Structure 1
């Protein structure tokens, strides 16, 4: 049987656009000052750090019962959906693979949790509950 994933992109809140605005201002400053090499270097470094996170943060539910949390090039966590006990809404600003402050926290195993921000939270949680009806969602 083939394993298929249903992908849910991360919601992008205003806060995630702040680095883009800062990058634009710095770039304009460098270009206005005639420092083209500096402009290229700043753009290259910021692009290497920011764009992979911005364009490659999503949450995938696979048909084999695994939730995959992907953020950028380095964060790739897998959670067995059968181990998820509850999901709660949160607005925490703690570092997380989420591009918005409108988040949910997924509790799994005994003491583990991950904070994410899917665009369609209710649909996302409903899909998790299809696989594990025991998941409690505190909206």
Structure 2
């Protein structure tokens, strides 16, 4: 079993931190304690989600786990193509430096493993037919 942590990108962390800091500051200055509680709980939840996101290769399966909400199991042999992308759609990924995994007939998911190179190598060992498309401009 191999476990890959999700990359946490500053392009997501900085804007969220600035926004939440401003809301916390405003809530404290205006003595809106319920708003403060809600934003602190939301911040804790987002931190938990970012830190708990992981991708596990076990035998011939890829398990994608993100917080309480996402637990997806993909048979690696059904993966047809993986492409590097900066797609900003919501996904179990803590960075916009992502991989789009296309599997089965019409399914896809976006992920962001910290060690993309080793992750792709491990998948390719299990599924040598796998097509990998790298971005041209890095």
Q: Which TM class, normalised by the smaller chain length?
A: 0.7 to 0.9
Q: Which residue of 1 aligns with 2:62?
A: 67
TM-superposed CA distance for 1:38, in Å, is 3.5
2:85 corresponds to 1:90: yes
Q: Where do residues 1-139 of structure 1 align in structure 2 (5 Å cutoff)? A: 5-17=1-13, 18-48=15-45, 50-62=46-58, 64-139=59-134
| CA distance in 2: counterparts of 1:102 and 1:41, whole angstroms | 29
| Most deviating of 38-47 and 84-93 | 38-47
TM-score (normalised: structure 1) = 0.85
**Separation (CA, whole Å) in 1 of partners of 2:31 and 2:106:** 54
Aligned residues between the structures: 133
- Structure 1 residues 43 and 83: CA distance shift in structure 2, 3 A: same
Gaps of at least 5 residues in structure 1 are: none
RMSD: 1.7
Return closer, same or farther for 1:115/1:30 CA change in 2, 3 Å cut-off.
same
Distance in 1 of aligned mates of 2:128 and 2:72: 22
> Is the 8 Å Cα contact of residues 52 and 73 (structure 1) preserved in structure 2?
no
Q: How far apart are the structure 2 equivalents of 1:94 and 1:113?
A: 12
Q: Name the TM-score, length of structure 2 as normaliser.
A: 0.85
